[in-house]
Amino acid sequence: MTELQKALYRHFGFRSFKKGQEEIINSVLQKQDTIAMLPTGGGKSLCYQLPGYMLEGLVLIISPLLSLMEDQVQQLKAGGEKRVAALNSMLSPNERHFILSNISRYKFLYMSPEALSSPYVLNRLKSVPVSLFVIDEAHCISEWGHDFRPDYSKLGPFRKALGQPPVLALTATATKETLLDVADVLGLEHAVRHLYSVNRPNILLAVENCADTAEKINRIAELAEKLEGPGIVYCPTRKWAEELAAELNEKTGKRTDYYHGGMDSGDRILIQQQFIHNQLDCICCTNAFGMGVNKADIRFVIHFSLPQTAEAFMQEIGRAGRDGKPSVSILLRAPGDIELQQQIIQMESLSDYDLEAILSIIKKAGTREERQLRDVLINGGVQETQARTAVHLYLQGKTSKELLQEELTRRLENKLHKMHRVSALLGRKECIREALLAYFDESYEPDGQSGQCCSSCGIDLSPYEQKGERKNMERFENWKLELDRIFGLRSAGELS
C-alpha cells in the first residue's frame, strides 16, 4: 500500500481510488496547477479534500451554490472534521464574524466568488497561508462568468491577491472551448490536465415525442408512478416546477415537492435534505437544483422541456445513477419547445431604452466601485442579473449604448446557437449517446456490456420500473428544527 493509499484509508476509510482520482491528487500534491474533468459521481471532492489533509494551510473552495456548499460542509462534519465552514447568507453576522476572526483555525473554507470580492474577506484570507485554491464546478467560469455571475471572471486576480496558490479546477462536463476559457480566466499557462470521459454508460438515454404540453404532463405522471425512484423532473421555469409538482401530488402516489431559485434559502436546503434522506420521491425543479447533491441512488431524470445547452443536459442527467446502477434519463419533446426556450433566453435581453436608462443611472452615481453601482441600479428598479451584467460590461469599457447592445446581442446569439445545437443532437435518429459524446470531442465505442444505450438504438423501460413500496413521509412545519434534526446543524462557534 502506497503512502497515498494509506492516507486515503486513514482519512476516508477507502482502500482504493476511483478512476482518475489518484493522478489528480498526485498533481495537486506536487503543487501543479491542475484542470480536472471527472464524470458526475466520479469523486471530485476527494481530489481536494485528501490533499487538504496532506498540505499545510487553508484549502479555499469556490463553490457556485449555497446548497452545494452546505451539503459538502455537512459531509465533512459527518466524517468528524470540525475545521470546515462556508461563508454564505445562511450565517448570522456573529457566525460570519467568528469565522473570519478565527480563519487560521480552519482547514476547509467554502465561499462564492462574490464573497471573495469583499475587501474585508480578501484581507482576512491574506492573513493565512492558502495551500490550494479550488474552483468547484469550474465550467461555471465560462457559463456564468461572462454573464450573470461576473465575479467568476475575477477569480484570476483574486488568486493573484492571495499569493498565487496552486489551483485545482474541477468539472464534470466541459468542451475544449470551455476548458480554454477556464485556463484563460484563471491565468493557468502551464496547467496539467486530467480529463476523463463524460460518458455514463449506466444511464439509458431516452427521447420521447409528445403531441403537446398536456400529453407531456400525463406522461410524466405515468413515468413518475411507474419508475423506480427517487427521481428528478427538470422544468423550464419556476412556475412549471410548482405546477408540475402539484400535478404529480394529485395524480400519483409519489411524495413530490418543487425547488427553484426564487424560494427562501432555508426552504431550498430543507427540500434538498428531504430528498437526500428519502423523505421525498421526486423533485420538480429548475436547473438551480442538483449540482453537487450527494445522493447516489437517483434512478431517473426527466426533462419536461428541451435543455438550453448540451453541457447543462449532461450535468443534469449525470445526477442519476451515481452508484453505478442502471438508471434512466428521459427527455420529452413537443412542438413549441424551441420557441419556449427562445423566449426564456430572449427575456435576458435589454432594449435600447433600458440601456439608456441604465447608463444614465451609472454615470450619475459618481463611482466606479462595482458593488455600489450594482446596488444603485437595483435600487433604481433594474433586475439583479441585468444589473450585474451591465455594471460588469461598463467597467470593461462598454460605456455606450451601442457597445453594450453589441456585446449583449453577441451573447444572446451564442446562447441561441447552443440551444439549437442541443436540439439537433437530441432530435437525431442515429445514436444519441454517440452524438452527445462527439459534442465533447469524444468517440463512442460500445462495449456490449453496459446495458441499454438510447432510444435510437432501441430500449425497454420495464427494468427501470418500481419494485416494492415506500413508506409515507412525516410532515412537519418548522424547517430550522427539521434541518437540525436531519444533520445536527451546529453554529460556527463549535470550534471554540
What digits encode the pLDDT tens for the residues 314-326? Answer: 989 989 998 889 9
DSSP state of 278: T
Question: In percent, how much of the chain has pLDDT > 70?
Answer: 92
Whether 295 contacts 321, CB under 8 Å: no
Q: Based on the domain organization, do 270 and 360 belong to the same domain?
A: no
pLDDT for 146: 47
pLDDT band at 327 (very low <50, low <70, confident <90, very high): very high
pLDDT for 192: 93
pLDDT band at 386 (very low <50, low <70, confident <90, very high): confident
In-domain check, residue 473: no
C-alpha cell at 13: 476509510
pLDDT band at 492 (very low <50, low <70, confident <90, very high): very low
pLDDT for 178: 86
Average pLDDT over residues 342-362: 88
Of 364, 386, 419, the residue that ends a domain is 419
DSSP state of 472: P
Q: Based on the domain organization, do 227 and 305 belong to the same domain?
A: yes
Q: Based on the domain organization, do 375 and 434 belong to the same domain?
A: no
pLDDT for 2: 86
| Nearest CA-CA partner of 207 in 20, 334, 320 | 334
Q: Based on the domain organization, do 119 and 213 belong to the same domain?
A: no
pLDDT tens digit sequence for 123-151: 999 999 999 999 988 888 776 544 557 77
Q: Based on the domain organization, do 246 and 214 belong to the same domain?
A: yes
How big is the chain, counted in residues? 496
The CATH number linked to 453 is: 3.40.50.300
Residue 493 has pLDDT above 50, yes or no: no
pLDDT band at 450 (very low <50, low <70, confident <90, very high): low
pLDDT for 290: 72
Give CA–CA dist 147/143, Å, rounded.
7
pLDDT tens digit sequence for 29-75: 999 999 999 887 778 899 999 999 999 999 999 988 776 787 788 88
C-beta atoms surrounding 274 within 10 Å: 21
**Which has the higher per-residue pLDDT, 11 or 148?**
11
In-domain check, residue 139: yes
Instruction: For the chain, give the mean pLDDT.
Output: 86
Residue 240 has pLDDT above 90, yes or no: yes
Q: CA end-to-end span of the chain, whole Å?
A: 37
Q: Based on the domain organization, do 248 and 280 belong to the same domain?
A: yes
Q: Based on the domain organization, do 165 and 279 belong to the same domain?
A: no
Q: Based on the domain organization, do 63 and 135 belong to the same domain?
A: yes
Give CA–CA dist 490/483, Å, rounded.
10
Q: Based on the domain organization, do 116 and 170 belong to the same domain?
A: yes
- The upper half-sphere exposure of residue 369, i.e. CA atoms within 13 Å in the direction of its Cβ, equals 10
Domain that holds residue 252: 203-341+428-465
- Tally of structural domains, the chain: 3
Which residues are CB-contacts of 188 (< 8 A; sequence separation ≥ 6)?
Answer: 33, 35, 167, 169, 182
Q: Based on the domain organization, do 391 and 412 belong to the same domain?
A: yes
Average pLDDT over residues 380-408: 86
| Nearest CA-CA partner of 292 in 128, 125, 139 | 139
pLDDT for 144: 57
Of 392, 419, 446, the residue that ends a domain is 419
| Nearest CA-CA partner of 137 in 161, 160, 116, 112 | 112
Which residues are CB-contacts of 174 (< 8 A; sequence separation ≥ 6)?
Answer: 37, 138, 139, 142, 182, 311, 440
Q: Based on the domain organization, do 133 and 237 belong to the same domain?
A: no
Q: Based on the domain organization, do 303 and 221 belong to the same domain?
A: yes
Task: State CA 91 to chain mean position distance.
Answer: 21
Give CA–CA dist 102/81, Å, rounded.
16
Question: In percent, how much of the chain has pLDDT > 90?
Answer: 47
Residue 470 has pLDDT above 80, yes or no: no
Residue 117 has pLDDT above 90, yes or no: no
